[in-house]
Structure 1
Amino acid sequence: MQERAFKGIWIPAEIWLSKDLTIMEKIFLVEIDSLDNGYSCYASNKYFAEFFGITNGRASQIISKLSEKGYVNIDYEMDGKLIKKRILKVNKMAYPVFNLLNTPIKYSKGGYLENYKDNNIYSNNLNLIKDIVEYLNNKAGTKYHYKTKDTQKHINARLSEGFTLEDFKKVIDTKCDEWLGTDMEKFLRPMTLFGTKFESYLNQKRKGNIEDVPDWYGNTKQTEPTPELLEKIEKMKESMRL
């Protein structure tokens, strides 16, 4: 049997209270993570069936569901065309809350929980996700929810690559300038904006950037161009006549 490296389990509230997971999926998720030991879990369906008192088929269904929902990655170690071993890995990249699974909780002398830096990983990301989605909704007139798993997955993937809130805002601004009022407006969504083309969008020059227009444009206190600008315009006209 695969060895464990723990003295118990602790389930983050976001997992325990998740409506996206059944009770069996939650405890399977914790069991897979507890068998990981920092590498991967290679327990068989037979192991899970005996451990939870269910059939092999039911164990296989639950693991497949966790994979479909993006919580667990499944890989296989092959021996020619034969499957030698199945490898299970909790998807901690897309869902940082899993970094808190089985994390020891320290207590102070008074019995209260001490601050532990990793305990804030998920809550900090969730606050960022909320800010990003609200910014998108305000700019694009959309109504996306920051707690949606698919939205969180795309944003967390970019955050894990080191992108910041300002980067997300720039991408939103750039694509809103380009797509609002066009047939592309329907793509002003988390799946498209924060997907694999995110870095490309980030480096795209913003349409109608204020740096590209004269200083007097849009200035209500100055209703006409300066004499210097008028002189430049006249010189341009003369050169065009030649």
Structure 2
Amino acid sequence: MNEKEKVTNKTEENREYFHVIPNSVFYDDNLTDKQKLIFSEIFQLTQKNGYCYASNSYLSRKMKVDRTTIIRAINRLKELGYIESELTYEDYSYRVSIRKITINGSRANLHPSGASATMQVQECNNDGGTNATGDSGTDATYNNININDINNNDIYSRADEKNDELINQVVNYLNERTGKDFKSTTKQTVSLIKARVRDGYNFDDFKKVIDTKTNQWQSKPDMNRYLRPQTLFGNKFEAYLQEYSNNNRFNNSNDINKYDW
């Protein structure tokens, strides 16, 4: 990053603007205070175009919380209907190339346009209150961040962004097949799956490895404990995947010979 980019990023980080939390979100007891603040940040970023592409890594750095907190907040906000996200995958893979987040204006009780341009306050005394005013005497507005002005690497963080959707799919499938309860947010698990994705493997490959080793080890008490991410998705992943291919070739050969009279 050159000096000009550093100055630009520093300016954006220090830019003063208001965060707004709609009453529906603010008073929702199903959300933690941190999740409400994360919604507010997302809401602010969507003001320019009605959507934003903020990655978990970007929000983590901006909100000064770990990525697990961001992931849980995003999932919770989606579950409650406050936000919607649209994932775009790279060709012929489960790797997410971009995530588009929008605010559900009707759920959050926003202005019909999906955004409120002014910050209003209720009357604060019996004499009657007024809307918050700026120096000009007009309704004070909060400044919008132009997300196109923020360094693209901060917004997309493609090289640094862990494929949360794929990780969830893999861990959920592993739990389903083994009856165990591994977490998709464990650092070692995330790191291993991400490493295999960088090697070019996809969800189908993970399923094949899980199926192969589950069939071999699940009924064996001394081996069942190895049905875990650090064993299955480690440096023997390719060998386990090869076992699946060899087993299929053997079974297909037997099917042919069975009818070769």
Do Structure 1 and Structure 2 share a fold, with TM-score over 0.5?
no
Q: Shorter-chain-normalised TM-score: which range?
A: 0.3 to 0.5
- Which protein has the larger Cα radius of gyration, Structure 1 or Structure 2? 1
Q: TM-score, length-normalised on structure 2? A: 0.41
Higher relative contact order (CA 8 A, sep 6+): 2
Q: TM-score, length-normalised on structure 1? A: 0.43
